[in-house]
């Protein structure tokens, strides 16, 4: 089956610093990647949709200057949390979709803790 | 607006059958998904319905009624490892997955 990886799986950073999270599709080319955020005991909230080679589309209420998304290739998308604050602490999950397919393949998630 | 409702918590006994309901109101409909998520892990795909009716896959079945905006996930022969959160998600007209809050299922011996 299709595999999506994320790196790192866990990261702790200090308030005010930036953190980059990578999402890779390992055995397929993902025309579209999605970034979600999940707070404890809550469901996944879509943050943004990125298509390879174009700018990401952000959901309402998500600051595009704070959450920088780059989808440079068909197998890699990155999410950079800039000037992180404790309230950014969350579980960040990416997913990838092949054009024309109904299914999204989820990465294992990245647990971000901002101290 | 877009709204997906499912019960917050359910409890069932090992070996039993449990049905988790999901109702939705979304801007367009392009399929309904059920995912299983264990604590601290990413969701794993369980089922996909785009047409009305029942889809069966082993111990898990999923039903969809588009006219009623309703789906359920049926789990048979429950095992302890089935204790997890079950997420209902609808793909809307824009192709985005909209998730419900999830149903925390506890399976007891």
Residue B23's pLDDT is 97
A90 neighbors A35 (Cβ within 8 angstroms): no
CB of A7 closer than 8 Å to CB of A106: no
Cβ-defined contact of B42 to A109 (cutoff 8 Å) = yes
Residues A10-24: what's their mean pLDDT? 97
Check whether A102 has a pLDDT greater than 80. Answer: no
* Average pLDDT score over residue span A87-101: 89
- Give the list of residues 6+ apart from residue A92 with CB closer than 8 angstroms, or none: A6, A21, A35, A36, A37, A38, A79, A109, A110, A112
pLDDT tier at A1, thresholds 50, 70, 90: low
Inform me whether the pLDDT recorded for A115 exceeds 90. Answer: yes
Does the structure show a pLDDT above 90 at A72? no
Query: Where is pLDDT greater, at A8 or A54?
Result: A8
> Looking at residue A38, what is its pLDDT?
92
Residue A51's pLDDT band, with cuts at 50, 70 and 90, is confident
| pLDDT computed for residue A52 by the predictor | 82
Cβ neighbors of A60 (< 8 A, separation 6 or more) are none
pLDDT of residue B1: 65
A13 pLDDT higher than 80:
yes
Which mean pLDDT values do the consecutive 10-residue runs of chain B (109 residues) have? 90 98 92 93 92 95 97 98 96 87 96
CA distance A17 to chain B (A): 24
The confidence score (pLDDT) of residue B5 equals 95
Q: Does B100 touch chain A (CB under 8 A)?
A: yes
> Poorest-confidence range of A9-23, A25-39, B47-61?
A25-39
Is the Cβ of B87 closer than 8 Å to some Cβ of chain A?
Answer: yes
A4: distance to nearest CA of chain B, Å?
11
Cα nearest neighbour of A91 on chain B: B40
Structure token pair of residue B58: 């082993």
Q: Which of B91, B90, B86 lies closest to B101 in space, CA to CA? A: B86
pLDDT cut 70: percent of chain A above it: 99
In the three-class reduction of DSSP (H, G, I as helix; E, B as strand; rest coil), residue A86 is classed as helix
């Amino acid at each position: 089956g299709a595999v999506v990886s994320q790196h790192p799986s866990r990261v702790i950073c200090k308030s005010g610093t930036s953190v980059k999270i990578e999402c890779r599709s390992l055995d397929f080319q993902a025309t579209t990647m999605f970034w979600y955020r999940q707070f404890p005991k809550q469901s996944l909230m879509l943050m943004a949709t990125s298509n390879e080679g174009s700018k990401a589309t952000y959901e309402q209420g998500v600051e595009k200057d704070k959450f920088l998304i780059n989808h440079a290739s068909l197998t890699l998308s990155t999410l950079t949390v800039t000037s992180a604050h404790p309230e950014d602490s969350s579980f960040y999950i990416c997913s990838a979709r092949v054009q024309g397919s109904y299914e999204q393949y989820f990465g294992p998630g990245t647990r971000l803790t901002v101290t | 607006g877009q709204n997906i409702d499912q019960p917050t918590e359910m409890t069932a006994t090992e070996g039993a059958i449990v049905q988790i309901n999901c109702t939705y109101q979304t801007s367009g409909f392009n399929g309904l998904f059920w995912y299983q998520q264990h604590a601290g892990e990413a969701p794993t795909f369980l089922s996909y319905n785009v047409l009305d009716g029942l889809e069966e896959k082993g111990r898990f079945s999923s039903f969809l009624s588009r006219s009623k905006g309703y789906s359920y996930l049926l789990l048979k022969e429950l095992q302890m490892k089935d204790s997890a959160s079950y997420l209902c998600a609808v793909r809307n007209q824009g192709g985005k997955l909209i998730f419900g809050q999830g149903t925390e299922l506890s399976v007891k011996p």
